């Protein structure tokens, strides 16, 4: 039977399911022009690293024009590139090179809010009766002049800011310079969907949607109820922030969002093989929302919540509980798991602060991430085993950290520049005398050049395990079945079609043993871990792992 070239070249609409997505923070990946800040040409030049790592796609954090009060998450023009990062032509070149290397490109869309420098907001705030007067969330003050309700900003204080021109308050879930768009207005929705088409026509393969559950607010502006202290969780906002004192029923997580997500998905479906992943920022009912947003085939392809980005220690029971909770909340949904990103303390520091053998720990944790049911996000530098950088107050850039210092040091510690060459100025990131954030000496020693080709390095283990993962469809698209709890050992099976793979992890600093489940098992190799097997008993070294296939 012959297959036409046209049919064989048909795009895989399911490419995102089980994909490994490499997150790039553009300010910190590679500087091509010597100004100390990363840019699009720099990303293009370093794409071979991503390809060699074995990632399927990249997700690029915002590069749109912006006053950079929140480093690109305050957009002033949705359909252009900030000159700091280059031009639309540079972006087109990035797309072309990524596709040549077989890498999909996903970009970050910030649709819950814009910058206060966006022309839409400038017009909206000019009067109460202009064409865009209702494009943002405006409300009158209470009779005593105080804000319309008790809603809080994630960055601290009230979620309302006073505007003297309109003599009204506007809503901002984040910085005062990030006013919330009013998606109850159909024109706003249409404008955002047109922007989405703009980037799809330029060749992007998908999107990461920032703060996807913040799109709508309660039209009646009802107060949020207080949250009892026992239910406060610091994963969405730091514990020092009173944001955690409220149950966020009315300022986000609104049911109207489901219809908008259907409209958004319909736009994606106008193009071949497009995928989207939503960030659900809610520590109270995050997985429940993920279930809602990924149900059916008419909303998000996948979402991630903050369960594995939280400070809670990564122990066997934690992994089991999170996966089981996701399965219960979203039985037909698909997760996208990340252990680190640009907003949280790097996981090697967050979970492994007291671990003596950080490299072994980093390798074991990475194997857990890459064998979970769902897609995977790897954050730049994670593959080097980078720790959280300790940034001096004088060098802080993040407004979040400046606001809550020293109890919360912000997000700069995970955003420092990527380290490429241990011997070069600024670790090969830039030729500038000073980079936008300093590069720690301990990071420079872990540069790509210092690890590349060393079979004992964290980098080579990531490459080795990603190749191993691709050899087994059960890891990519299979179901997960957990074994009974056994001390420090985490055990589960991944099943897909006729393949069942057993995964055992010793999440402790001392050797441990585990018995093989009933059945015949062939020990798998090529994954970089060593363990002993005798009479169906597996001996796992500290931070070790074992893999076998059912026969």
Residue 7 has pLDDT above 70, yes or no: no
- For residue range 314-325, what is the model confidence (pLDDT) as tens digits? 999 999 999 999
Backbone angles phi, psi at 449, to 5 degrees: -60, -30
Tokens of 21: 């997505």
Give the pLDDT confidence of 404-457 residue by residue, as tens digits.
999 999 999 999 999 999 999 999 999 999 999 999 999 999 999 999 999 999
pLDDT digits 0-9 by tens, 119-161: 999 999 999 999 999 999 999 999 999 999 999 999 999 999 9
Is the Cβ–Cβ distance between 7 and 17 less than 8 Å?
Answer: no
pLDDT tens digits, one per residue of 161-209: 999 999 999 999 999 999 999 999 999 999 999 999 999 999 999 999 9
Q: At residue 116, does pLDDT exceed 60? A: yes
Dist CA 485 CA 490 (whole Å): 7
- What are the strands of the beta sheet with 138-139, ordered from one edge? 138-139, 168-171, 160-163
Residue 3, pLDDT > 50, answer no
Average pLDDT of the chain, as a whole number = 95
Is residue 302 a contact partner of residue 333, using CB atoms and an 8 Å limit?
Answer: yes
Task: Compute the average pLDDT of residues 282-286.
Answer: 85
pLDDT score recorded for residue 148: 98
**CA atoms of 113 and 121, how far apart (whole Å):** 10
- State yes or no: pLDDT of 1 exceeds 70: no
Maximal C-alpha separation, the chain: 80
**Per residue in 454-471, pLDDT tens?**
999 999 999 999 999 999
Q: What is the pTM of this model?
A: 0.96
- Give the list of residues 6+ apart from residue 459 with CB closer than 8 angstroms, or none: 383, 384, 385, 448, 451, 452
Q: What is the pLDDT of residue 457?
A: 98
pLDDT at 9 exceeding the cut of 90: no
380 has a pLDDT exceeding 90: yes
What value does the mean pLDDT take over residues 247-267?
A: 97
Residue 4 pLDDT > 90, yes or no? no
- Catalytic residue numbers? 210, 270
Share of residues in the chain with pLDDT > 90 (%) = 93
Distance CA 94, CA 515 (A): 49
- Positions of E strands within 25-144: 57-60, 104-109, 138-139
pLDDT for 235 beyond 90: no
pLDDT at 444: 97
Confidence of residue 5 (pLDDT cuts 50, 70, 90): very low
Domain boundaries, the chain: 16-112+187-217+252-468, 478-550
In this prediction, residues 35-39 reach a mean pLDDT of: 98
Tokens of 40: 């699009």
Omega before 406 cis (within 30°)?
Answer: yes
Q: Which two tokens stand for residue 491?
A: 């055990």
Would you state the structure tokens that stand for residue 321, as one six-digit string? 């509980």
Q: Comparing 16-112+187-217+252-468 with 478-550, is the CATH topology the same?
A: no
Q: What is the CATH architecture assignment of 16-112+187-217+252-468?
A: Alpha-Beta Barrel (3.20)
Confidence category of residue 210, pLDDT binned at 50, 70, 90:
very high
Helix, strand and coil content of the chain, in percent to the nearest 5, comes to 30, 15, 55
Candidate from 86-95, 185-194, 330-339 with smallest mean pLDDT: 330-339
Superfamily for the 478-550 domain: Golgi alpha-mannosidase II (2.60.40.1180)
pLDDT band at 297 (very low <50, low <70, confident <90, very high): very high
For 97, the token pair is 């090179």
Q: Residue 11: what pLDDT?
A: 85
For 89, 200, 311, 428, the CA distances from 418, given in Å and listed in that order, are 24, 28, 23, 8
């Amino acid at each position: 039977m012959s297959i036409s070239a046209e049919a064989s070249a048909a795009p895989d609409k399911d490419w995102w399911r089980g994909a490994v997505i490499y997150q790039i923070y553009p300010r910190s990946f590679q500087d091509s022009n010597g100004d100390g800040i990363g840019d699009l040409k720099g990303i293009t030049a370093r794409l071979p690293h991503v390809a060699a790592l074995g990632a399927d796609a990249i997700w690029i954090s915002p590069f749109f024009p912006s006053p950079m009060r929140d480093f690109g998450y305050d957009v002033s023009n949705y359909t252009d590139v900030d000159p700091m990062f280059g031009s639309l032509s540079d972006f087109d070149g990035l797309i072309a090179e990524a596709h040549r290397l077989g890498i999909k490109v996903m970009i970050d869309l910030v649709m819950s809010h814009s910058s206060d420098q966006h022309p839409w907001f400038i017009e909206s705030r000019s009067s109460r009766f202009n064409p865009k007067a209702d494009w943002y969330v405006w409300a009158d003050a209470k009779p005593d002049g105080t804000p319309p309700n008790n809603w809080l900003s994630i960055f601290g204080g009230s979620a309302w800011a006073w505007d003297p021109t309109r003599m009204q308050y506007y809503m901002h879930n984040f910085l005062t310079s990030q006013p919330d768009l009013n998606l109850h207005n159909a024109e706003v929705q249409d404008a955002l969907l047109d922007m989405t088409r703009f980037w799809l026509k330029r060749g992007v393969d998908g999107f990461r949607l920032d703060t996807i559950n913040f799109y709508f607010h309660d039209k009646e502006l009802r107060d949020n109820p207080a949250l009892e202290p026992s239910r406060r969780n610091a994963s969405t906002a730091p514990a020092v922030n009173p944001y955690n004192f409220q149950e966020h029923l009315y300022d986000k997580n609104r049911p109207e969002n489901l219809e908008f997500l259907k409209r958004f998905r319909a736009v994606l479906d106008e193009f071949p093989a497009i995928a989207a992943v939503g960030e659900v920022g809610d520590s109270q009912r995050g997985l429940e929302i993920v279930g809602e947003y990924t149900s059916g085939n008419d909303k998000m392809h996948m979402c991630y919540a903050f369960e594995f980005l939280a400070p809670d220690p990564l122990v066997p029971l934690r992994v089991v509980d999170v996966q089981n909770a996701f399965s219960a909340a979203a039985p037909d949904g698909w997760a996208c798991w990340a252990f680190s990103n640009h907003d949280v303390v790097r996981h090697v520091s967050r979970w492994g602060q007291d671990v003596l053998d950080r490299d072994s720990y980093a390798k074991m944790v990475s194997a857990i991430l890459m064998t979970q049911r769902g897609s995977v996000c790897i954050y730049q530098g994670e593959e080097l085993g980078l720790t959280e950088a300790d940034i001096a107050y004088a060098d802080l850039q993040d407004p979040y950290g400046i606001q809550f210092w020293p109890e919360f040091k912000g997000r700069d510690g995970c955003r420092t520049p990527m380290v490429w060459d241990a011997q070069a100025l600024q670790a090969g990131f830039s030729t500038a005398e000073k980079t936008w954030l300093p590069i720690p000496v301990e990071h420079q020693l872990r540069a790509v050049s210092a690890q590349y080709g060393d079979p004992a390095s964290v980098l080579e283990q990531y490459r080795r395990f990603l190749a191993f993962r691709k050899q087994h469809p059960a890891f990519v698209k299979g179901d997960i079945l957990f074994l009974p709890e056994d001390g420090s050992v985490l055990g589960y099976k991944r099943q897909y079609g006729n393949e069942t793979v057993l995964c055992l992890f010793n999440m402790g600093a001392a050797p441990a043993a585990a018995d093989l489940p009933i059945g015949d098992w062939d020990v798998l190799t090529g994954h970089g871990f060593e363990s002993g097997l005798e009479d169906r008993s597996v001996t796992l070294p500290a931070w070790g792992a074992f893999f076998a296939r059912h026969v």
